[in-house]
């Protein structure tokens, strides 16, 4: 899955395919800031699933939108958002478990 807007920096480790689900009722900003020479930021609407490629060591920051600002509400290792191999019964087990856990709190 190529990233056409923000390609991963050259020379990094092999990218992994990740999935994040916004299981809240609020707009969120998903941002990766710990990978040098790479800018990744996306708006994630309530109920939306975001598929993206990242390095395994990347950290996905989730900022929850407020009236005039955004508050860092979670930091998730991208390795825990990795999509399962094809043919498995549950294609997004880790992601959905994290999304459901974040709505319980």
What does the pLDDT look like over 78-105, one tens digit per residue? Answer: 999 999 766 554 544 444 444 444 444 4
- On whether residue 61 sits in a domain, the answer given is yes
The DSSP annotation for the chain comes to ---SSSPPPTT-PPPEEEEEE--SSS-EEEEE-SSTT--EEEEE-TT-EEEEEE-TT-EEEEEEE-SS-EEEEEEEEGGGGBPPPTT-S-SSHHHHHHHHHHHH-
Is the full-model pTM beyond 0.85? Answer: no
- On whether residue 7 sits in a domain, the answer given is no
- On whether residue 4 sits in a domain, the answer given is no
What does the pLDDT look like over 28-53, one tens digit per residue? Answer: 999 998 998 888 999 999 999 999 99
Which range of residues forms the domain containing residue 76?
A: 16-104
- On whether residue 45 sits in a domain, the answer given is yes
């Amino acid at each position: 899955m190529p990233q056409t807007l923000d390609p991963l920096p050259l020379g990094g480790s092999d990218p992994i395919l990740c999935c994040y689900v916004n299981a809240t009722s609020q707009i969120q900003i998903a941002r990766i800031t710990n990978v040098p020479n790479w800018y990744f930021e996306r708006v994630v609407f309530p109920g939306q699933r975001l598929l993206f490629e990242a390095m395994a060591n990347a950290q996905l920051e989730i900022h929850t939108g407020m009236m005039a600002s955004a508050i860092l509400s979670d930091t998730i290792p991208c390795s825990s958002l990795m999509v399962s191999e094809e043919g498995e019964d549950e294609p997004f087990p880790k992601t959905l478990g994290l999304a459901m856990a974040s709505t319980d709190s």
